[in-house]
Structure 1
Amino acid sequence: MTAVRWVLGAVGVAAGLWGAFLLLPLVDVELAVWFLAGPVVHDALLAPLFGGVGLAVARWAPAAWRTPVVVGGVLSGVLLLVAVPLLWRPHAGPVNPGLHDRDYASGLLVAVAAVWLGVSAACWWAGRRRRASGPGTRRAGRPGC
């Protein structure tokens, strides 16, 4: 079985190298910068930033609010990632008539506002349930709620 794994690994590495060789004529400086800057920006800026935000939420948010706030943050990030190509559109070239005739920035703001409205409703509901159940009682299997 080990020999089969080594052969499959060697075939995979060879296929990857062949693909890189075929890609070399298409690579220009902008593409190389884009491929290199993405991981650098992620590792140097975004990962520490969001890690710090996660630690702050875990430390200072009430227990009943942690899950809704984290879900709201993740949904906001996904919405932003989906919207980036549409917000970046002025730099992409000519517009296809009828396809990009919306105000995507306003749409993103409305969607994020709806997410955080849902987060605030979930936090309100969790606080209401906690007050109704009493200060010393907790429901089994549902920590923090």
Structure 2
Amino acid sequence: MRWVLGAAGVGLLGWGGFLLLPLLLDSVGNTVSLGGWLIGGPLLHDAVVAPVVGLVGLVISQRVGRAWRTPVVTGLVVSAVLTALSVPWLWRSFAPFVNPGLHDRNVLLGLVIALAVVWLAVLAAGLVNRRRLSAAPPAGG
């Protein structure tokens, strides 16, 4: 079964490359834009976002109580992903191709609202965890 899934993955990767080739050969602007997405995104994540979120999560997890540890670290990860996904639309001069209905909104406001929802969920989860831990009987007793 593993070989079948591997072969399907390699086949789909080849099909994606075949579909991507005309866009890469079309113009230098398309090549630069696609390069930004296909190379810049993973580099940004691996070189900046993941280490920063990991270090901040490690520091915060040492500072907050047990009830808040998982919600706060999860909120950091989700916030980092939302921010990384919004960068191309916030950085308008290098924005991706225009997609009708996608660019006619305030992306910064949408990001702020999404982050507010994430951190409200973190607050709710932390309060629930704190109440649950304070109501639990002591260990070993």
Tell me the TM-score range normalised by the shorter chain.
0.5 to 0.7
Q: Any residues of structure 2 matched to 1:34-49 within 5 Å, and which?
A: 45-49=48-52
In structure 1, the residue matched to 2:84 is: 81
Q: TM-score, normalised by structure 1?
A: 0.59
Distance in 1 (CA, whole Å) between partners of 2:39 and 2:85 is 21
Following superposition, the deviation at residue 55 of structure 1 comes to 1.6
Letter in 1 for 2:88: P
Gaps of 5+ in 2: 1-13, 15-20
> Which position in structure 2 is the counterpart of 1:101?
104
Map of 2:71 onto structure 1: 68
Conservation of the 8 A alpha-carbon contact between 2:71 and 2:125 = yes
Distance (whole Å) between structure 1 residues aligned to residue 96 and residue 65 of structure 2: 47
Equivalents in 1 of 2:42, 2:96: separation in Å?
25
| Bigger helix share | 2
Q: Please say if 1:118 is aligned against 2:121.
A: yes
Structure 2: distance between partners of 1:107 and 1:67? 25
Give the letter for the 2:83 counterpart.
L
User: Quick one: structure 1 residues 48 and 100, their matched pair in 2 at CA, closer, same or farther if it must change by over 3 Å?
Assistant: closer
Taking the TM superposition and a 5 Å limit, the aligned residue runs for 1:42-61 are: 45-61=48-64
- Percentage identity across paired residues of the two chains: 46
Report the residue type matching 1:129 in the other structure.
R
Shift of 1:81: 2.1
**Correspondence for 2:6:** none
Check the 8 A contact 2:53/2:80 in 1, yes or no: no
Which 5+ residue runs of structure 1 have no aligned equivalent?
A: 1-14, 16-21, 139-145
Q: Residue type of the partner of 1:116?
A: W
CA distance in 2, matches of 1:131, 1:42: 38
Q: How many residue pairs align between the two structures?
A: 128
Over the residues paired in the alignment, what is the CA RMSD in angstroms?
4.1
